Amino acid sequence: MKPTMREGHEGTGPGVITPDGCAVELYERLPVGEEPDVVAAAVPAGARILELGSGVGRMTHALVERGFEMTAVDESAEMLRRVRGARTICGPVERLDLGETFDVVLLASFLVHTGDTEVRRGMLRTCVRHLAEGGCVLIQREGEDYHTDVPRERTDPAGFTVRIVSVEPLGDGVDSVHAEYVFPDATWTQTFRARPLTREQFEAALAEEGLRVDRYLTEDRMWVRAVPVSRG
């Protein structure tokens, strides 16, 4: 059965497309970058990590290899079918309630920039709800010029090109972003809704849900370690 697409999201190219327009076969091909190192450096060894929006396990697998105990959540069963070495949970992040807590909750892949403010609030509440005493939330934000440095492209050493073709304002602070991934034998596209957040807007969104920035983990401030406000 074809899943219902999220409003304003679509994808083209071979294989299954998820409700947010991602292609399962594309994510199987994308190499993992520095993300697992950033995560590993910010959390205790062997931590129990709840990863929200894991996809096929691009980051999950690298974190399993580093000795973390991973629970991977995604609303696409087709994505989760490719995850190895981790518990998997299928469903929307914004409504997740496992009745248990984790040392670390990971909200990567710019999910915090979802165009739908209610979905963002739901996702951040999910992070807080699943956080153990003394735990932290790791969030990956967009780069600061993500919506303005357009069009742009990057050719990966693995032999494919990623292109942000256009970013069109839809009103109410939300943009429609159109991306292309070009491989020698296949091309995928994704159109999705994203809300740019300045540092101030991002920190205010966290505060709304009782979180605060503990520290920015990378110089570009794209990776953030957040903790509950109640913790001094």
Ligand X SMILES: C[S@@+](CC[C@H](N)C(=O)[O-])C[C@H]1O[C@@H](n2cnc3c(N)ncnc32)[C@H](O)[C@@H]1O
Residues that bind ligand X (CB under 6 A): 18, 20, 22, 27, 53-55, 58-59, 74-76, 79, 92-94, 108-109, 111, 119
Cβ 54 to ligand X shortest distance, Å: 5
3-class SS letters over 147-161: CCCCCEEEEECCCEE
Cβ 126 to ligand X shortest distance, Å: 9
Bridging pattern class, strands 48-52 and 102-107: parallel
User: How far is the C-alpha of 172 from the C-alpha of 166, rounded, in Å?
Assistant: 18
Question: Based on CB atoms, which residue is closest to ligand X, 188 or 202?
Answer: 188
Question: Based on CB atoms, which residue is closest to ligand X, 79 or 127?
Answer: 79
Return the structure tokens found at 214.
Answer: 């503990």
Cα dist from 60 to 48, 145, 173, whole Å: 12, 27, 32
Question: Based on CB atoms, which residue is closest to ligand X, 55 or 135?
Answer: 55
Question: Based on CB atoms, which residue is closest to ligand X, 72 or 136?
Answer: 72
User: How far is the C-alpha of 168 from the C-alpha of 156, rounded, in Å?
Assistant: 25
Question: Based on CB atoms, which residue is closest to ligand X, 75 or 103?
Answer: 75
Q: List strand residue ranges (DSSP E) for 85-229, in order.
A: 87-90, 102-107, 131-140, 152-156, 160-171, 174-183, 186-194, 211-216, 223-228
Cβ 133 to ligand X shortest distance, Å: 26
Cβ 221 to ligand X shortest distance, Å: 19
Cβ 185 to ligand X shortest distance, Å: 20
Return the structure tokens found at 194.
Answer: 């994203």
Using CB atoms, what's the residue nearest to ligand X? 55
